[in-house]
Amino acid sequence: MSTDSRSTVDGELRVGMVGYAFMGAAHSQAWRTVNRVFDLPTRVRMSLICGRDESKVAAAATRLGWAGHTTDWRDLITRDDIDVVDVCTPGDSHAEIAIAALAAGKHVMCEKPLANTVDEARAMVAAAAKAQAAGVRSMCGFNYRRVPAVTLMRQLVASGRLGVIRHVRAVYLQDWIVDPQFPLVWRLQRDKAGSGALGDIGAHIIDLTQFVTGQRIAGVSALTETFVKERPLVAESSGLAATSGNGSADGRAMGQVTVDDAALFMARLDGGAIATYEASRFATGRKNSLRVEINGSLGSVAFDLERLNELEFHDATVPAAEQGFNRILVTEGDHPYMAAWWPPGHIIGYEHSFTHEMRDFVEALATGTDPTPSFADALQVQLVLAAVERSAEQGTAWTAVEPALAEVAA
Ligand SMILES: NC(=O)c1ccc[n+]([C@@H]2O[C@H](COP(=O)([O-])OP(=O)(O)OC[C@H]3O[C@@H](n4cnc5c(N)ncnc54)[C@H](O)[C@@H]3O)[C@@H](O)[C@H]2O)c1
Confirm whether pTM is higher than 0.85. Answer: yes
Instruction: Label residue 133 exposed, middle or buried (CB < 10 Å: 0-12, 13-18, 19+).
Output: exposed
- DSSP conformation class of 321: G
C-beta of 19 in contact with ligand 1 (< 6 A):
yes
Nearest to 143 by CA among 370, 373, 330, 362: 373
- Tens of pLDDT, residue by residue over 29-59, are 999 999 999 999 999 999 999 999 999 999 9
| pLDDT at position 252 | 82
Atom of ligand 1 nearest to the CA of 24: 16
- Per-chain mean pLDDT for the chain: 94
Ligand 1 lined by 296 (C-beta under 6 Å): no
Strands 399-400 and 217-225, bridge-based pairing: antiparallel
| Confidence (pLDDT) at 407 | 56
The pLDDT of residue 409 is: 56
Q: What is the pLDDT of residues 167-219, one digit of tens each?
A: 999 999 999 999 999 999 999 999 999 999 999 999 999 999 999 999 999 99
* The pLDDT value given to residue 245: 40
**Mean local confidence (pLDDT), 329-333:** 98
Q: How far is the CA of 201 from the centre of ligand 1 (A)?
A: 14
Is there a cis peptide before residue 344, judged by omega within 30 degrees of 0?
A: no
Place 405 in a pLDDT band, splitting at 50, 70 and 90. Answer: confident
The 3-state DSSP composition of the chain as helix, strand, coil percent (nearest 5) reads 40, 25, 35
- Residues 254 and 235 sit within 8 Å (Cβ to Cβ): no
How far does residue 395's CA lie from ligand 1's centre (Å)?
32
pLDDT tens profile 216-271: 999 999 999 999 999 999 865 443 333 334 556 567 899 999 999 999 999 999 99
The predicted pLDDT at position 4 comes to 45
- Check the CA dihedral 26-29-33-35 and report its sign: positive
Q: How many CB atoms lie under 10 A from the CB of residue 65?
A: 13
